[in-house]
């Protein structure tokens, strides 16, 4: 009959640290997005990352202005907020990848 609990398919991809880094370094036009707060960003991030706080009031406006020709590699502390951000990016037609496990999963 009806499946009331059926969830929509994910429109972005979760990648573990190694796969995320490999895909990021091999893709053409990319951008690395740290979606943590500015304080978390200031305490340390992946080199080259841009800070766009997913919890800020301006996040939706900021992502609406992103280049649709790029692929976005998104991370936060644990992978939860970046999953939320990826969902919003994908809803706008942007290609997004979530770093499963967060910034600590980035290979050194």
Give the residue numbers annotated as catalytic, written as ranges. 76
Which one, of 7, 30, 5, lies nearest residue 20 by Cα? Answer: 30
SS3 97: strand
Tell me whether strands 30-34 and 71-75 are parallel, antiparallel or unpaired: parallel
Q: What is the DSSP string of 1-43?
A: ---TTPPPPPSSEEE-HHHHHHHHHHSSSEEEEE-S-HHHHHT
């Amino acid at each position: 009959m009806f499946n009331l609990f059926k969830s929509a398919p994910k429109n972005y991809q979760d990648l573990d640290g190694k796969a995320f880094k490999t895909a990021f370094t091999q893709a053409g036009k990319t951008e690395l997005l740290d979606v943590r707060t500015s304080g978390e960003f200031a305490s340390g991030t992946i080199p080259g990352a841009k800070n766009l706080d997913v919890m800020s009031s301006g996040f939706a406006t900021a992502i609406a202005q992103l280049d649709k020709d790029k692929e976005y590699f998104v991370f936060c502390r644990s992978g939860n907020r970046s999953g939320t951000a990826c969902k919003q990016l994908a809803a706008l037609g942007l290609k997004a990848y979530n770093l499963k496990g967060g910034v600590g999963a980035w290979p050194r």
